[in-house]
Structure 1
Amino acid sequence: MSERTSDEVRRLTDEAEIRRVVDGIDDAVDAKDWVLCRSYFTDEIYVDFTSLAGGEPGRMPSDDLVGAWRTNLYPEKPSFHMRTNHRIRIDGDRAEVVSKGHALNILRRGTGSDLWEVWGTYTHTLERAPDGWRCSGMTLAVVHARGNEKVREFVPDGQA
């Protein structure tokens, strides 16, 4: 195999693994598999969801991010996340993925409409670890959201 072919195989393999990590986060969240979800992240992550929820972007332990999702997306609150149009850029042991995403949350609690959904552009940063790629950053730029905000925010007593 030529060096050029070897480099191309490595790039394609890296892109497939990177896409698997980014999509795997969504699949694990919807399955409420928090151990699997956490396995996709570095120990600390940069998070910017300010276009969705305000606040300030910043670094946080990945355990805290996954813990917050676990609290907000408890078993009785179905969710559906999907991502498409991945644009992957690899620079050595670092990568960036820009993709379009959609998230749907459902809450059957008498809070009005039981649906909330958002569309946006996600930017994920990843780092190569000894055992594969891990997500080190997530940014969401909301394009459109609709539905009942209470669905996104509601956590029953005792869940927090």
Structure 2
Amino acid sequence: MNTFIRTLTVAALTSAPALATVVGEPVTADTLLDRAEMIRIADALDAAVDAKDWTAARSLFADQITVDFTSLVGGEPATIPADGLIAGWSSNLTADKTSFHLRGNHRIAFDGPDTAVMHSHGYAWNRMEAGALPENGGEALWEVWGNYTHEFARGADGWRITGMVFEATAERGSTFVRNTPGS
């Protein structure tokens, strides 16, 4: 492919807003640190949730966030206090329910100098021994695959998550484990 055609192709891919979800935007010297920080925050959120470090998890969000987990649990997207999201997670993921979250293929597009959207693929599982009991279905594990969209805004304290969408693409295992809070 000659240089002119390659330049036009790259320009078309990186300037089309719809393709930002697939390819992201090119990394530049001006955005490198911001991108690294957003990926660090998303990964830190997974690690904090799995460690049940709710203070650390909460620190990664703005005070109000837009959330949409409707593909997984139904309901409607909502704007809620971040404290409410953390309270919900902490009441479901108690000491006897183990979780593991993994994220990759981060693609980031900037909406301005202080706002950005990150798309990534995600995998999570929850394990709870009570699910293995015959009366609870006999399966201790539930797992899900899907796509995340995180919205970020930069404030006085740095980048924070202002929105979070999870679109489940597949799940398997015990709905008892998924739906039952640990004790």
Shift of 1:8: 3.5
Corresponding residue for 1:3? none
Amino acid at match of 1:124: H
Rounded to whole Å, the distance in 2 between the matches of 1:125 and 1:70 is 22
Amino acid at match of 1:13: L
- The partner residue of 1:40 within 60, 64, 87 is 60
Rounded to whole Å, the distance in 1 between the matches of 2:92 and 2:120 is 23
Corresponding residue for 1:145? 171
- The partner residue of 1:96 within 114, 117, 131 is 117
Amino acid at match of 1:84: G
Pairwise CA RMSD of aligned residues? 1.3
Corresponding residue for 2:6? none
1:114 paired with 2:140, answer: yes
Shift of 1:75: 1.4
Amino acid at match of 1:26: D
How many residue pairs were aligned? 151
Give the match's secondary structure for 1:28. helix
Rounded to whole Å, the distance in 1 between the matches of 2:128 and 2:96 is 8
1:15-70 CA deviation, whole Å, 9 max, x = no partner? 00010111111110001000000000000100000000000111000000001000
Shift of 1:9: 3.0
Rounded to whole Å, the distance in 2 between the matches of 1:13 and 1:122 is 21
- The partner residue of 1:85 within 98, 105, 114 is 105
**TM-score of the two chains, using structure 2 as the length reference:** 0.80
Structure 2 gaps of 5+ residues are 1-26
Corresponding residue for 1:20? 40
Larger helix share, 1 or 2: 2
Shift of 1:131: 1.9
Structure (1 or 2) with the larger CA radius of gyration: 2
State the identity as a percent: 47
Amino acid at match of 1:117: E
- The partner residue of 2:82 within 58, 62, 71 is 62
- The partner residue of 1:10 within 30, 36, 52 is 30
Corresponding residue for 1:71? 91
Corresponding residue for 2:151? 125
Give the match's secondary structure for 1:10. coil
Structure 1 gaps of 5+ residues are 1-6
Rounded to whole Å, the distance in 1 between the matches of 2:58 and 2:178 is 21
Amino acid at match of 1:76: D
> Which runs of structure 1 show a deviation greater than 6 angstroms over 4 or more consecutive aligned residues?
none
